[in-house]
Amino acid sequence: MHQTLAPITAPIPVRASSTDDPAELLRFAIDAHDLGAAALATLVDIRGGAARALGAHMAVAADGRFCGYVSGGCVEAAVASEALLAIAQGRDRMVKFGDGSPFFDIVLPCGGGITVAIHVLKDVGALRHVLDRLERRQAAALVYSRERQTLISVDPPLRTCWTEGNFLTVYRPRTRVVVSGRTIEAQAVARLAEASGYDVIVRGRGEGARVAADLIDPFTAVVLLHHDLDAEAAILENALHSPAFYVGALGSTRTHHRRVERLTAVGFRRDDIGRIKAPIGMFGPTRDATSLALSVLADIAAARLVAYA
């Protein structure tokens, strides 16, 4: 008597979380690989408009769980299904969606098209190296070779791109926001920055000089929210000596003129002083702490995009 074997059914893709933080996605991929098998899907080509930038990731576990985005949510389940097939076959694949895609029933709302490279992870050493560098607040990069079906860590280039047939994804530490001040405005900015997933450090008067030396790096925004120039002097001078990508200070145009005079008197050059965004924020003037916080965080986000596009 012959026993009939039940057909093997593929797992159904299920979103495990809504995060799009690259470090969290890499951790998910590492954990999934350690439990069995996993794939890392990467947005490597954009035709027309797209909801995500080149290098956006999805991580897919062999049991069907996935996280991350390569679009606005319209193709992610399909990408996860393709990743599960790649895991089952043990081979990488390149898949097109939207314009130029064989999947006529999957249309991107923006009308464009994307290509996603799906890599079946053979080891996660390169991913761990990226996470280690990010933990130390250093930029990192992975290079994917479609021909060799490999993923290795390398020194980061200036931007995510294709080069010599390989795709390089650049990772940078999350934005750190150093908020100087014990004002209601400082409290509002700190709350909104934390809600936005930024690394937030709050310092009051007299604490600025200590925070500047070891915590203000190229991925840091310094926000000065004092109501007198003496209170901001220490951290402002340290911020202008630092590689911070954003330095903003509270106060009117008249207050900033006095600030400029003070800084000039102690030897700061015009280019150094020109780094200060004052009056602070993207829009203004504002008349309440919440509006100011929205203005400041929007300005920081825009400055970060310009600095690290």
**CA geometry: angle 29, 32, 35, nearest 5 deg:** 150
Residue 105 clears pLDDT 60, i.e. is over it: no
pLDDT band at 2 (very low <50, low <70, confident <90, very high): very low
List own/partner pairs for 100-104 with CB under 8 A and 24 or more apart.
100/47, 103/78
134: Cβ–Cβ under 8 A, 6 or more apart, which residues? 23, 140, 171, 172, 173, 174
**CA geometry: angle 146, 13, 151, nearest 5 deg:** 20
Q: Is 99 helix (H, G, I), strand (E, B) or coil?
A: coil
> What is the C-alpha to C-alpha distance for residues 138 and 173, in angstroms, rounded to an integer?
6
Residue 200 clears pLDDT 60, i.e. is over it: yes
149 DSSP assignment: T
pLDDT band at 114 (very low <50, low <70, confident <90, very high): very high
Can you name the residues that pair with 43 across neighbouring β-strands? 116
pLDDT digits (tens, 9 = 90+) for 70-85: 998 889 999 999 999 9
> What is the C-alpha to C-alpha distance for residues 23 and 28, in angstroms, rounded to an integer?
9
**CA quadruple 97, 99, 102, 106: dihedral sign:** positive
End-to-end Cα, the chain, rounded Å: 66
Q: What percent of the chain has pLDDT over 90?
A: 80
**Mean pLDDT calculated for residue range 190-203:** 95
Within 16-166, residue ranges assigned H as helices are 22-35, 76-89, 125-135
Amino acid 131: pLDDT: 98
pLDDT digits (tens, 9 = 90+) for 141-172: 999 999 999 999 999 998 999 999 999 999 99
> What is the C-alpha to C-alpha distance for residues 80 and 61, in angstroms, rounded to an integer?
9
> What is the C-alpha to C-alpha distance for residues 129 and 136, in angstroms, rounded to an integer?
11
DSSP string, 14-42: EE------HHHHHHHHHHHHHHT-EEEEE
58: Cβ–Cβ under 8 A, 6 or more apart, which residues? 25, 40, 41, 66, 67, 68, 69, 70, 76, 79, 80, 83, 116
How far is CA 302 from each of CA 152, 186, 223, 256, 282, rounded to the nearest angstrom?
31, 20, 15, 22, 9
Task: Judge contact between 302 and 282, C-beta under 8 A.
Answer: yes
Count how many Cα atoms sit within 13 Å of the Cα of residue 64 in the half-sphere of its side chain. Answer: 6
DSSP string, 250-302: -S-HHHHHHHHHHHHHTT--HHHHTTEESS-SSS----SHHHHHHHHHHHHHH
Amino acid 4: pLDDT: 45
pLDDT digits (tens, 9 = 90+) for 232-264: 999 999 999 999 999 999 999 999 999 999 999
**Mean pLDDT calculated for residue range 302-309:** 92
**Mean pLDDT calculated for residue range 45-71:** 94
Residue 17 clears pLDDT 90, i.e. is over it: yes
**CA geometry: angle 251, 254, 260, nearest 5 deg:** 85
